Homo-oligomer: A and B are copies of this chain.
Amino acid sequence: MANIFEVPQPDNNLLKKADQVRLASIKISQTENQNRIKALNLMADYLERNTKKILEANIEDYKKAQNRGISNALLSRLKLSEEKLNSGIDGVRKVGNLADPVNQVQIKRELSKGLILERKTVPIGVIGVIFESRPDAVMQISSLAIRSGNVVMLKGGSEANLTNIAIVNALQEGLYESGLDKNAICLLTSRKDSMSMLNLENFINLIIPRGSNELVKFIQENTRIPVLGHADGICHLFVDNEANLEMALSVALDSKIQYPAACNAIETLLLHKDIAKVFLEKAIPLFDSNDVKLIGDKRSFELGLKYEASLEDWQTEYLDLILSIKIVDDLDEAITHIQRYSSKHTDGIITENSHNANRFMNIVNSAGVFHNCSTRFADGFRYGFGAEVGISTQTLPPRGPVGLEGLVTYKYFLKGDGNIVHDFSSGKAIYTHKDL
């Protein structure tokens, strides 16, 4: 917020598009569950029919990106194999099978005779999505949005433009055939539009960024629109002095190497001083044989680590086969370290002492607090949500892995027969507050 606000104002062309999307949002918000399921099935059908076109567009994008000398990591995310596309199409159908998150009655209450309050879930409205590379994200986020009665304004990385256009065209054909407004999925292709989106607070109700920490941070700091997501994922695992050491080794290894580029992989391992020596004797060769570089504080360096950590290590999300290690005097020092450096994503403890486990889980204020299991379980699919919109590290809900429920809000519907508040202050009417 201390930054100068450099995001350009939307031009007339973008405003016109945004208004079309807004109108599509009003239409889709009034659809029945069956309409939206039908739309998802047709979206999947049209993706299938256009497989060849989409894959060809991707090959074109890929060639251009190679010529422009884009990094290998980005290239591999850009690449859409037939298998990846099919799995994306399958994902669209699966989202169709998830329970309808809209029109769920949360409160139904008689406030007084003839005066009925209902709180029902409703779509959020227009979701802005800004993502890098990964064209499969278009299918995933569009299907989640339509399932929940929302519409999307998408902006992908320019390196995937042709692929994204081909995918969005197919999705729009499906929408159109199902009777929905094809503007419910809108793709922006210029970088200027993507930045101006951040100033569309009168049109866009929620922004979901999918990309690097830098992208997410930039968006969070340059828009008034609520942002669902997280920048850093600095997760910790604390091995207590009453830990089962075999379990600690296995869970620590899994939390680091099972998929090191994931936000729920650990970056720092905290070891109770009483078990540090015996743990490290086994851990050093184990992590070595798995190509994990261990960087330790002074005490663990003295116990045989090859690299010594600097302050920066505790603040770094390596997203790589690197793990920082710190030896702490006790549970409280571990908690204090986590409170200072955790990004409040997921932090775990390994211990056989349930008092210590509960103390850790109650005090550590992260979206996920884990006991005797891998931090890699912090994920919407693994939690059984069927789909994941993103993972939020903020304190207020939605928090942690967010499923479809993150794409709805609620509204209060009050129906009366002429009820006025004056009758209550004059004593003519009374509140009954009876849940129905």
Determine the chain B residues whose CB is within 8 A of the CB of A117 once the complex forms. 383-384
With A125-B395, A368-B411: A377-B5 Cβ-Cβ less than 8 Å:
no
A217 to chain B, nearest CB (A): 12
Which of the candidate stretches A67-75, A157-165, A359-367 sits at the interface with the other chain? A359-367
A372 sits at the interface (CB 8 A): yes
A30 sits at the interface (CB 8 A): yes
With A111-B383, A396-B124, A409-B396: A416-B376 Cβ-Cβ less than 8 Å:
no
Determine the chain B residues whose CB is within 8 A of the CB of A420 once the complex forms. 250-251, 253-254, 258, 373-374, 376
Closest 3 CB pairs of A and B: A373-B416, A254-B420, A384-B433
Residue of A29, A109, A370, A425 most packed against chain B (CB within 10 A): A370
Bound CA span A397–B407, Å: 11
A125 to chain B, nearest CB (A): 6
Q: Are A372 and B224 in contact (CB under 8 A)?
A: no
With A124-B395, A377-B115: A421-B5 Cβ-Cβ less than 8 Å:
no
Residue of A396, A414, A418 most packed against chain B (CB within 10 A): A414
Q: Which residues of A contact B (CB under 8 A)?
A: 1-2, 5, 26, 29-30, 109, 111, 115, 117, 124-125, 205-206, 222-224, 226, 244, 247, 250-251, 253-254, 258-259, 357, 361-363, 365-374, 376-378, 382-384, 394-397, 399-401, 409-422, 424-425, 431, 433
Closest chain B residue to A228, Cβ basis:
B396
Determine the chain B residues whose CB is within 8 A of the CB of A5 once the complex forms. 1-2
With A5-B1, A226-B396: A373-B109 Cβ-Cβ less than 8 Å:
no
- Can you list 6 A-B pairs, Cβ within 8 angstroms, ordered by A? A1-B1, A2-B5, A30-B363, A125-B365, A251-B419, A374-B421
Across the interface, A362 reaches (CB within 8 A) one of B30, B253, B378, namely B30
Bound CA span A415–B109, Å: 37
Determine the chain B residues whose CB is within 8 A of the CB of A400 once the complex forms. 411-412
Closest chain B residue to A384, Cβ basis:
B433
